[in-house]
A and B are shown apart, each in its own frame.
Chain A
Amino acid sequence: MAPVRAPLLERGAGVLPWVGTVLRVVVGTVWVVAGSLKLPDPAAAERAVRAYQLAPEGLVPLLAFGLPVLEIAVGILLLAGVFVRPAAVVSALLLAGFIAAVSSAWARGLSIDCGCFGGGGEVDADSTAYLSEIVRDGALLVAALFLVARPRTRWALLDRAPTSRGGPDAGS
């Protein structure tokens, strides 16, 4: 490696793992919160899924009751820094699916709340928030893709980024 590039690389290597840590905590927290809010009222969760008018009735319970568990599981893995790349891949897939579902509801002229954090169902036509829901999920998707590319971060239980000094964080 050319000596002139070394300082830049070291600086990059020093900051990027911290960026990854921040994204990991943000995405992980969103998953845990979003999943937990969907568990107390299972009937409402089913209604939120049905409001999209996409899933056949037989799949509604699996989506309404299973997805929140998957969200919480992925969130815990991200927060702990364990199996970050698989968790980030699942995050990206889920978010892409949610963006597609919300876009589809928008395109079909439905007036629904995304039910992203519990709730859901029909709302007044002028209180839909499709654009902001898509932008939010898009930002989370970018964060998830960053973690797919660079899963090793600081303050992680397993997927630790190597430090330049060595020490306990080195290797892994």
Chain B
Amino acid sequence: MPGPDRSPTRGRQAARERIAAKRAAEQEAERLRRRRRGQLIAGITVAVVVVAAVLVTVLVQSARTDTADAVAPANTAAGTAETGFAVGSPGAPVTVDVYEDYLCPACRAFEESTGDTLDQLVADGEVLVRYRPVAILDRFSDDAYSTRAANAAAVVADTAGADAFHAFSESLFAQQPAENGPGLTDDELIDAAAQAGAQGDDVAAAIRDLRFGDWVASATDRASRDGLTGTPRILVDGEPLEAPTAEALSAAVEAAQG
């Protein structure tokens, strides 16, 4: 005999409720599933966009730093991959490499304290100095002075040779501008170039137009890959000098002579 709950009407009612509850649960599950799928797709999209942005940026920045077609100035020194200018006798027993940025105060200090010692060692035929201008301090200049000065030095070397380059360098360090301000103007660079022995309309145009700007970037990049992290960097027969002082330099040169 059927109990009170088993009347046909009540049974159908309960069944309908069960079906409705099941449908609601299914709809809820479907809603959650769709939301998760939506989030997954959005997440993958964001990840793909970020990876694509990274790749595009790497390509663009690599192109911006590419200096493969840079034109090197004439009169560069052997063994510097066209990035340096040598002063002294090629037969000198010791080679000194000097990496300098024309805006670097420590380089000016090195020139003041040790320039004469170095010049004397060159005059005595004891060392060959390979000067390697680099531009790593443009961000401390209102007008990219590091690059402009190194370009002008390359123009002088290109036109009048390594000794004129050396005279020009000394003159630039003697009138070095302060960091975080304007550098020497193009006209001042052109005057200094003329005094060092490089003059004429072509010199002036090359200084104004940054004829060797790409070369400066390329030389700086090569120096960085060779381990340059700051200036001045002085190598005595390839060995970094601990302190940029006249005493340290003399001692290192003496040691290198054996």
Q: Do A and B come from one complex?
A: yes
A123 to B49, CA, bound (A): 37
A31 to B225, CA, bound (A): 28
Is the beta-carbon distance between A65 and B62 smaller than 8 angstroms? yes
**Number of residues in B with C-beta < 8 Å to the partner?**
25
Instruction: Annotate A21-44 by CB proximity to B: 1 below 8 A, 0 otherwise.
Output: 000000000000000000101111
A83 CB within 8 Å of chain B = yes
Contacts of A50 in B (CB 8 A): 224-225, 229
| Contact A47/B136 with A65-B62, A69-B50 known, Cβ cut-off 8 Å | yes
A57 CB within 8 Å of chain B = yes
* Chain B contact surface mostly: helix
Mark out the residues of chain B between 63 and 83 whose CB falls within 8 Å of any chain A CB in the assembled complex. Answer: 64-65
Q: Quick one: closest A residue to B57, CB to CB?
A: A69
Is the beta-carbon distance between B53 and A73 smaller than 8 angstroms? yes
| Contact A121/B136 with A47-B229, A69-B57 known, Cβ cut-off 8 Å | yes
B151 CB within 8 Å of chain A = no
Is the beta-carbon distance between B139 and A41 smaller than 8 angstroms? yes
A18 to B64, CA, bound (A): 42
Contacts of B225 in A (CB 8 A): 50, 57
Mark out the residues of chain B between 138 and 196 whose CB falls within 8 Å of any chain A CB in the assembled complex. Answer: 138-139
Which of A39, A44, A83, A119 has most chain B Cβ within 10 Å?
A44
Is the beta-carbon distance between A122 and B139 smaller than 8 angstroms? no
Is the beta-carbon distance between A43 and B65 smaller than 8 angstroms? yes
Q: Smallest CB–CB gap between A35 and chain B, Å?
A: 10
Residues of A within 8 A of B (CB): 39, 41-47, 50-51, 53, 57, 61-62, 64-66, 68-70, 73, 77, 82-83, 86, 110-112, 118-119, 121-124
List the 5 closest pairs (A to B, CB-CB), nearest first: A122-B230, A42-B61, A65-B61, A122-B229, A51-B229
